[in-house]
């Protein structure tokens, strides 16, 4: 069975700095991996997905994620954080198993 883990409950970053939200996965075979974002009082919104191909996946709002098979990771990144990026971020995998979420706080 596949599982994903988000090791950080919360990530704090200053506006303009690069951000990374971590995700690791456990699966046999080739994984499908996703990132979703949830703003307050809203449902989850799809950001990007990795199915196969290039290890660097580009998504919405300037986010990207890097699939690293040797480290079984799929970290979400953005070169320059915005205050409006503050939200709850979920990593998800095959059969739509989700992590516990990571709160991202971007301070001005």
Partner 1 sequence: ETGVTQTPRHLVMGMTNKKSLKCEQHLGHNAMYWYKQSAKKPLELMFVYNFKEQTENNSVPSRFSPECPNSSHLFLHLHTLQPEDSALYLCASSQGGRWRTGANVLTFGAGSRLTVL
| Binding site residues, partner 1, CB under 8 A | 2, 9, 32, 34, 36, 41-46, 49, 51, 90, 93-101
Q: How far is the CB of 15 from partner 1 (least distance, A)?
A: 26
Is residue 64 within 8 A of residue 77, CB to CB? The reply is: yes
Closest CB to partner 1 among residues 8, 15: 8
**What are the tokens at 55?**
């290890």
Closest CB to partner 1 among residues 14, 46: 46
Q: How far is the CB of 63 from partner 1 (least distance, A)?
A: 15
């Amino acid at each position: 069975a596949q599982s994903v883990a988000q090791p950080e409950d919360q990530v704090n970053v200053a506006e303009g700095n690069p951000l990374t939200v971590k995700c690791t996965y456990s699966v046999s075979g080739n994984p499908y991996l996703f990132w979703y974002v949830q703003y307050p009082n809203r449902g989850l919104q799809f950001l990007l997905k990795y199915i196969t191909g290039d290890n660097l996946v580009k998504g919405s709002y300037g986010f990207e994620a890097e699939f690293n098979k040797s480290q079984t990771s799929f970290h979400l990144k953005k070169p320059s954080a915005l205050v409006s990026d503050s939200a709850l971020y979920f990593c998800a995998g095959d059969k739509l198993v989700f992590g516990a979420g990571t709160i991202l706080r971007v301070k001005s």
